[in-house]
Amino acid sequence: MKQKHFMSNTLVGAAGAMVVLAITTVATATEPCNDEDGLGECKALIEINATDGDIGFHFLMDGDDLIKSQVNNPDGQKIFEAIAKKEFREQFMTETFVESAEPLCWDSPDAEEDDEIVTLEEFLELWTPGTYEFVGRGKEGEMVSGETELTYLIPAAPANVAFNIGTNVISWAAGIDLGKCADFGELTALVESDVLPLHPSAVTVDAWEVVFEPDVDDGDPLGQLKFTIRVAGDIGTKAVTVPPEYLADLPDDTLAKIEVGAIGGEDNATFTELFDICVNEVEGCGGDDD
């Protein structure tokens, strides 16, 4: 998954309201992390790409002038450590954002022979829910720490993602499953066996994250021209309008994709993608599925 959902939490109350154009950046988690102890923010979460069918663990911690950062799992075992050396030791660290590899969660016919398949249940067996401790060491040797909760409250993947090229409207609906990672019946079985505390279709969506992104090769500056917005999870009409000024600035025959993410209250997120959108079509984009 290329999209990361630690970013500006701009909320819009209804479709068609004024939207905010932003460069996608890794910025802040949504909750403080024992700020009085020196860590401003921390978050651990599960992120699923329901379209590609992959799953990963992400974390973020943010503090001032750190020379070391560390994460401990609910059993108190260290699972991550970063130590500043040489130039970094002189200027120090602040924010640390890390995501795990994102193995396929389904037996894709396009998978390579050595591709690892990790089902949703296997992933949950690996990443224990509970309190994750974040520890940092400051430039004077002082220790700072904070805690955050990882939960299995995973929102369902957005459904029926569409783009109306005449009105520039991206629309979607609330979903009932996790796409290629698990269908409704599989999720029901996981709830009945107490693996999941709640069916994803019943998990409250706090925000919807919508990204319109030129679908170009890595390194192409056009890829930085992304339209990104968050809207409240309880909006009635699930739709946003992409500013025509933004689209007009894209070159003719620009191939684009859309991501719509359901963001839960614990920051767990499930994304659905829509590919092969041809913007400012003159000769045709001629793109292939990602």
Q: What would the pLDDT profile of 218-239 be if each residue is shown by its tens digit?
A: 788 888 889 999 999 999 999 9
Ordered by where they begin, the domains of the chain are 35-150 (2.60.40), 159-279 (2.60.40)
C-alpha 174/C-alpha 164 separation (Å) is: 18
193 against 11, higher pLDDT: 193
What pLDDT sits at residue 224? 85
- pLDDT tens profile 93-149: 888 999 998 999 998 888 787 888 999 999 999 999 999 999 988 888 888 888 999
Q: Which residues contact 148 (CB under 8 A, 6 or more apart)?
A: 29, 31, 33, 42, 43, 44, 131, 132, 134
Structure token pair of residue 28:
């802040």
For 267, the token pair is 């920051």
